Amino acid sequence: MLVFEAKLRGTGKQYAILDEMIRTARFVRNSCLRYWMDNQGVNKYDLNKYCRILRKEFEWCKKLSAQACQASAERAWSAIARFFDNCKKKVPGKKGFPKFRKYQTHGSVEYKVDGWILSDDRLTITFRDGFKAGTFKMWGTRDLHFYSKKQVKRVRVVRRADGYYVQFSINQERNEHHEPTKRMVGVDVGLNHFYTDSDGNTVENPRFFRKAEKALKKAQKRVSRRKKGSKNRLKAIKRLGKMHLKVSRRRKDFAVKTARALVQSADLVAIEDLKVRNMVKNHHLATSISDASWTLFRQWLEYFGKVFDVPVIAVAPHFTSQNCSNCGEDVKKALSTRTHKCPHCGYLNDRDVNAAINILMKARQGLAQLPRGTRKVTPGDEMTLCLDGETQKSKVARRARNSRQR
């Protein structure tokens, strides 16, 4: 499934209608969520039926396409299903109980195959439901001529701080050819360097939020000083939203390009299965960890691993920084110690390079332990394949067992 995005060009009156469409979709979602809270045993299909009741009870709700109302109900159910899934898996901490959506500077409304018309030249889109938003010009870099209109399964209108966008969900699988490089690489992410691989290559941490932090604080002060409900406060909020949007876009662009280049340069990529949700509980490093966006980087690594048919394996991060990659002995070191020096074998290397080598060794060892015929890791299994590797106790037991056999 591909998602293409383009910016909508229209008049101020058309933008006001889009706001009304988004508010109506939010109302349907919140109403379905309230219906689920008040009635025990409600399922997905009951929420779809409840949309008919809402359309009969509220005349202005009929303006929104029936399929768009169902899409809003499906969003409510996806939040409910995610909450139930987290409860079954016993996810530590908060389980993500569904919340009501309030008015924000961003929002969206989703259509299925009804309620919109795409022009033959793929340059304009017309929304034909009861709101009668009219025709919008689309400004973007993606060419939709390569895909038929039947392949477009969903159309979503998204409001952001800098305008309105339309997203097309296209039923098309993406597969690209990968030239074998005969290279396997382990990756250790960090704060000094964004990541360090097992070959000693490093990528600098861009620190987009830290660089814009001073300007963001200044913009936030402008918002707090304006009177609530005034036009100047809305202008200040919009200005602050644009600055945050710019930071997030730069962070995403960096993650996409870095992940793609890393996957193309190797035949296997080994990464750590980090619990970033627990790591940000450290208030001294929470901002820097969030700014590094390791989770976003891993998501794009796994995506490009599927696209280029390159295995991306997540291994347990235990003892990857403490163990010596040369002899396997445990070498205790503080977080401030950036050089690994083994007192047992004299191995000297950078701390992050040593960790990256251990990560790669864990991944290769886990592949070797798989049964014959299943050693080939297919893309998509990287999320379920979390290898614990060989612990220090198992190494000692293995050495003792080998010595007895001799």
For the chain, give the percent of residues with pLDDT over 70.
90
Burial class (CB within 10 angstroms; exposed 0-12, middle 13-18, buried 19+) of 207: middle
Q: Which of 115, 146, 170 is the last residue of a domain?
A: 170
Give the count of beta carbons closer than 10 Å to the beta carbon of residue 2: 13
Number of domains in the chain: 2
For β-strands 152-160 and 2-9, DSSP reports them as: unpaired
Asked if the structure places residue 281 within a domain, the reply is: yes
Question: What integer pLDDT is reported at residue 329 of this predicted model?
Answer: 80
Contact assessment for residue 113 and residue 149, using Cβ atoms and an 8 Å cutoff:
no
Asked if the structure places residue 325 within a domain, the reply is: yes
State whether 322 and 190 are in the same domain: yes
Asked if the structure places residue 293 within a domain, the reply is: yes
Contact assessment for residue 319 and residue 391, using Cβ atoms and an 8 Å cutoff:
yes
pLDDT at 401 over 60: no
State whether 118 and 266 are in the same domain: no
CA 242 – CA 112 distance, rounded (Å): 29
Over residues 280-305, the mean pLDDT reads 90
Asked if the structure places residue 250 within a domain, the reply is: no
Contact assessment for residue 319 and residue 330, using Cβ atoms and an 8 Å cutoff:
yes
CA 363 – CA 134 distance, rounded (Å): 55
Contact assessment for residue 148 and residue 133, using Cβ atoms and an 8 Å cutoff:
no
Residue 59, φ and ψ in degrees, nearest 5: -65, -40
State whether 308 and 355 are in the same domain: yes
State whether 7 and 129 are in the same domain: yes
Q: Which two tokens stand for residue 376?
A: 């080939």
Contact assessment for residue 158 and residue 316, using Cβ atoms and an 8 Å cutoff:
no
Contact assessment for residue 395 and residue 328, using Cβ atoms and an 8 Å cutoff:
yes
Residue 370 banded pLDDT, cuts 50, 70, 90 = low
Asked if the structure places residue 38 within a domain, the reply is: yes
State whether 96 and 127 are in the same domain: yes
Question: What integer pLDDT is reported at residue 349 of this predicted model?
Answer: 82
Q: Read off the pLDDT of residues 18-59 as tens digits, 9 standing for 90 and up.
A: 999 999 999 999 999 999 999 888 899 999 999 999 999 898
Q: Read off the pLDDT of residues 89-130 as tens digits, 9 standing for 90 and up.
A: 888 788 889 999 887 768 899 998 888 998 888 889 999 888
Over residues 196-202, the mean pLDDT reads 88
For the chain, give the percent of residues with pLDDT over 90.
42
Asked if the structure places residue 230 within a domain, the reply is: no
Contact assessment for residue 115 and residue 68, using Cβ atoms and an 8 Å cutoff:
yes
pLDDT at 379 over 80: no
CA 226 – CA 249 distance, rounded (Å): 27
State whether 392 and 278 are in the same domain: yes
Over residues 1-11, the mean pLDDT reads 90
Q: Which of 120, 147, 170 is the last residue of a domain?
A: 170
Torsion angle of alpha carbons 14, 16, 19, 25, nearest 10°?
-70
DSSP 121: T
Query: Helix 44-57 crosses helix 66-88 at what angle (to 10 degrees)?
Result: 140
CA 38 – CA 32 distance, rounded (Å): 10
Q: Which two tokens stand for residue 140?
A: 């973007």
State whether 143 and 198 are in the same domain: no
Question: What integer pLDDT is reported at residue 115 of this predicted model?
Answer: 87
State whether 165 and 191 are in the same domain: no
Question: What integer pLDDT is reported at residue 346 of this predicted model?
Answer: 82
State whether 121 and 199 are in the same domain: no
Contact assessment for residue 269 and residue 258, using Cβ atoms and an 8 Å cutoff:
no
Mean pLDDT over each residue of the chain, to the nearest integer: 85
State whether 111 and 65 are in the same domain: yes
- Nearest CA to 359 out of 306, 332, 327, 321 is that of 321
0.75 surpassed by pTM = yes
Kindly write down the DSSP assignment for every residue of 337-405, as one continuous string.
Answer: --EEE-TTT--EEEHHHHHHHHHHHHHHHHHHHSPTT--SPPTT-TTT-EE----HHHHHHHHHHHHHH
Q: Which two tokens stand for residue 187?
A: 């990756």
pLDDT at 328 over 90: no
Asked if the structure places residue 41 within a domain, the reply is: yes
For β-strands 134-139 and 124-127, DSSP reports them as: antiparallel
Question: What integer pLDDT is reported at residue 254 of this predicted model?
Answer: 94
| β partners of residue 135 | 126
Query: b/e string for 327-337 if b means 16 or more Cβ within 10 A?
Result: ebeebeeeeee
Q: Which two tokens stand for residue 245?
A: 């949007």
State whether 313 and 189 are in the same domain: yes
Any idea how long the chain is?
406
Over residues 332-353, the mean pLDDT reads 83
Asked if the structure places residue 239 within a domain, the reply is: no
Question: What integer pLDDT is reported at residue 95 of this predicted model?
Answer: 86
Question: What integer pLDDT is reported at residue 245 of this predicted model?
Answer: 93
Domain encompassing residue 91: 2-170
State whether 32 and 101 are in the same domain: yes
Contact assessment for residue 176 and residue 4, using Cβ atoms and an 8 Å cutoff:
no
